[in-house]
Structure 1
Amino acid sequence: MQVRNSSSNFGVVSVAIHWLVAVAVFGLFGLGFWMVDLSYYDDWYRTGPDIHRSVGILLLLVMLFRLVWRLFNPLPRALPSHSRLEVLAAHGAHSLLYVLIFVAMASGYLISTADGSSISVFNWFDVPSVTGQIKGMEDTAGLVHYWSTWALVVLAGVHALAAIKHHLIDRDDTLRRMLGSGRRQS
């Protein structure tokens, strides 16, 4: 498998980033969904949010790298079997996935730094607050974070179902290309 994308397949870097982001998004969603019901006396009351914030910051770094990678590494062409509507829907869905990921990360950052605190990333480094203390910001950012993460997970689920539809019903190489196995041998 090649490192860079070709005109017909994704390279190993694009495939690895895609799956890393997918696992991180669903993992963060699951952790966030679980930790909101933790009580003050639960052992995970502080640990869960610390992990959630740390992985979120690392995901931001991965997503910034992903954007740079895409600028210098064009995507493979759409498959000839895809209709114009499918191509447009895929581009729209991918763009919206990117927007929702960045909105979720920005709002999560604003929740955590609304009191002027920095975010410690696994005690490796700290990300300072750029806003200082803003009264009520954590509530507004919390609503944005809640709805953007739900929208992100629902859209990612639809995205996965579309890939499965292409694989099982259309029997094309859409999913195979993102699994890194390239074109089907005829």
Structure 2
Amino acid sequence: MQFRNSRARYGAVSASLHWLVALAVFTLFGLGFYMVDLTYYDQWYRLAPHIHRSIGILLFAVVTLRLLWRFSGTVPSPLPAHSRFEVLSAHLAHWLLYLLMLVAMVSGYLISTADGSGVRVFDWFEVPSLTGRIERMEDVAGDVHYWVTWALVGLGVLHGLAAVKHHLVDRDDTLRRMLPVRLKRS
């Protein structure tokens, strides 16, 4: 597989970053869903949020890298069989996914730094608070984070179902050209 994108398919970097981001988003959602019901005496009470915040900060760096990579090169052309509606809705969905991810990560950061403290990332480094202590920021950012992550996962599931539909029903190369390895046509 080629390193960079071509007009026909995504390259290894784009495909790998795509699947890494997808895995991280769904993992963070599952961990976040799990950890909100933890009690003070649960062994995961402090560890789960630390892992969640650390992966979230790293994901922000990966998404930033992914956007820079996307803007620095070619993007594959839509497949000829795709309707104008499919092309436009795919573009809209992709940009909405990016927007939702960024809002989710920024709101998560604001929740974590509302008291003025920084975010420790796996004890490797600390991302400082940029806002300092702001009254009620944790509550407002928490509401935004909650709804945006549900919207992100919902749209992510729809995105995945659309790819599966293209693969199984339309029998086109939409999914194949985003895989980091080549699958033979059946």
Which TM-score bucket, shorter chain as reference?
A: over 0.9
TM-score by length of 1: 0.97
How far 1:102 sits from its partner (Å)?
0.1
| Native 8 Å contact 1:173 1:184 kept in 2 | no
**Which range moved further: 176-185 or 122-131?**
176-185
Q: 1:181 to 1:172 in 2, by over 3 A?
A: farther
Residue equivalent to 2:128: 128
C-alpha separation in 2, matches of 1:153 and 1:52: 16
How far 1:181 sits from its partner (Å)?
4.2
How far 1:179 sits from its partner (Å)?
1.2
Letter in 2 for 1:104: A
Q: Does 1:18 align with 2:22?
A: no
How far 1:25 sits from its partner (Å)?
0.1
How far 1:184 sits from its partner (Å)?
5.4
TM-score by length of 2: 0.97
How far 1:180 sits from its partner (Å)?
3.2
Residue equivalent to 2:153: 153
C-alpha separation in 2, matches of 1:15 and 1:95: 17
How many correspondences in the alignment? 186
| Native 8 Å contact 1:173 1:182 kept in 2 | no
1:166-185 matches, within 5 Å, as 166-182=166-182
C-alpha separation in 1, matches of 2:22 and 2:71: 20
Name structure 1 gaps, 5 residues minimum: none
Name structure 2 gaps, 5 residues minimum: none
The C-alpha deviation readout for 1:14-72, integer Å capped at 9, x for no partner, is 00000000000000000000000000011000000000000000000001101110111
Give structure 1 regions of 4+ aligned residues with deviation exceeding 6 angstroms.
none
C-alpha separation in 2, matches of 1:125 and 1:180: 31
Residue equivalent to 1:67: 67
Residue equivalent to 2:37: 37
**Which range moved further: 67-76 or 21-30?**
67-76
C-alpha separation in 2, matches of 1:184 and 1:84: 27
How far 1:185 sits from its partner (Å)?
5.6
C-alpha separation in 1, matches of 2:177 and 2:136: 45
Q: 1:182 to 1:8 in 2, by over 3 A?
A: farther
C-alpha separation in 1, matches of 2:96 and 2:134: 29
